[in-house]
Amino acid sequence: MKSDLSCLGEGESAVIQSIEADEALHHRLRALGFSAGKPISVIRRGRFHGPLQVRVGMTDVILRRSDAAKIKIALPS
Protein backbone atom coordinates (compact mmCIF):
# COMPACT_ATOMS: atom_id res chain seq x y z
CA MET A 1 0.00 0.00 0.00
CA LYS A 2 1.36 3.41 -0.98
CA SER A 3 1.01 5.74 1.97
CA ASP A 4 3.52 8.50 1.25
CA LEU A 5 4.67 10.48 -1.76
CA SER A 6 8.08 8.79 -1.97
CA CYS A 7 6.35 5.52 -2.95
CA LEU A 8 4.63 6.85 -6.09
CA GLY A 9 6.09 5.95 -9.47
CA GLU A 10 6.60 8.23 -12.46
CA GLY A 11 3.30 9.33 -13.95
CA GLU A 12 1.26 8.29 -10.90
CA SER A 13 -1.08 10.70 -9.14
CA ALA A 14 -2.58 10.92 -5.67
CA VAL A 15 -4.23 13.34 -3.28
CA ILE A 16 -2.36 14.85 -0.34
CA GLN A 17 -3.83 13.72 2.99
CA SER A 18 -1.44 15.39 5.41
CA ILE A 19 2.08 16.71 5.87
CA GLU A 20 3.87 15.19 8.85
CA ALA A 21 7.02 17.31 8.95
CA ASP A 22 8.78 19.69 11.30
CA GLU A 23 7.46 23.24 11.39
CA ALA A 24 10.03 24.73 9.00
CA LEU A 25 9.48 22.12 6.27
CA HIS A 26 5.73 22.23 6.79
CA HIS A 27 5.68 26.01 6.24
CA ARG A 28 7.94 25.73 3.18
CA LEU A 29 5.72 23.08 1.59
CA ARG A 30 2.56 25.08 2.34
CA ALA A 31 4.13 28.13 0.68
CA LEU A 32 4.78 26.02 -2.42
CA GLY A 33 1.11 24.97 -2.60
CA PHE A 34 1.15 21.64 -0.77
CA SER A 35 -2.00 21.22 1.31
CA ALA A 36 -4.45 18.49 2.27
CA GLY A 37 -6.91 17.65 -0.49
CA LYS A 38 -4.71 18.86 -3.36
CA PRO A 39 -3.87 16.47 -6.21
CA ILE A 40 -0.18 15.73 -6.72
CA SER A 41 1.67 13.76 -9.38
CA VAL A 42 5.20 12.48 -9.83
CA ILE A 43 6.79 13.73 -13.03
CA ARG A 44 10.21 12.18 -12.65
CA ARG A 45 12.18 10.09 -10.14
CA GLY A 46 15.92 10.57 -9.78
CA ARG A 47 18.05 7.46 -10.07
CA PHE A 48 19.87 5.93 -7.11
CA HIS A 49 17.42 7.33 -4.53
CA GLY A 50 17.70 10.81 -6.03
CA PRO A 51 15.06 13.54 -5.72
CA LEU A 52 11.51 13.51 -7.06
CA GLN A 53 10.06 16.06 -9.45
CA VAL A 54 6.43 16.51 -8.46
CA ARG A 55 3.61 18.71 -9.73
CA VAL A 56 1.08 20.39 -7.44
CA GLY A 57 -1.39 22.44 -9.43
CA MET A 58 0.69 24.30 -12.01
CA THR A 59 3.88 24.20 -9.94
CA ASP A 60 6.75 21.73 -10.39
CA VAL A 61 8.89 21.14 -7.31
CA ILE A 62 12.00 19.02 -6.74
CA LEU A 63 11.88 17.21 -3.38
CA ARG A 64 14.33 15.02 -1.53
CA ARG A 65 12.89 11.56 -1.02
CA SER A 66 13.20 12.00 2.75
CA ASP A 67 10.97 15.09 2.52
CA ALA A 68 8.55 13.34 0.13
CA ALA A 69 8.18 10.53 2.70
CA LYS A 70 6.65 13.06 5.12
CA ILE A 71 3.78 13.82 2.72
CA LYS A 72 1.00 11.30 3.32
CA ILE A 73 -1.20 10.53 0.32
CA ALA A 74 -4.34 8.72 -0.74
CA LEU A 75 -4.66 7.14 -4.16
CA PRO A 76 -7.68 8.29 -6.18
CA SER A 77 -10.49 5.78 -6.39
Give the chain's domain count.
Answer: 1
Which residues have a Cβ under 8 Å from the Cβ of 14 and sit 6 or more positions away? 2, 5, 8, 39, 40, 41, 73, 74, 75, 76
**Domain carrying residue 41:** 5-74
pLDDT at 2 over 70: no
Better-predicted residue by pLDDT, 2 or 1: 2
pLDDT at 73 over 90: yes
Give the pLDDT of residue 48. Answer: 87
CATH code, domain with 16: 2.30.30.90
Q: What is the mean pLDDT of residues 41-58?
A: 93
pLDDT at 76 over 70: yes
Per-residue model confidence as pLDDT tens digits over 6-46: 999 999 999 999 999 999 999 999 999 999 999 999 999 99
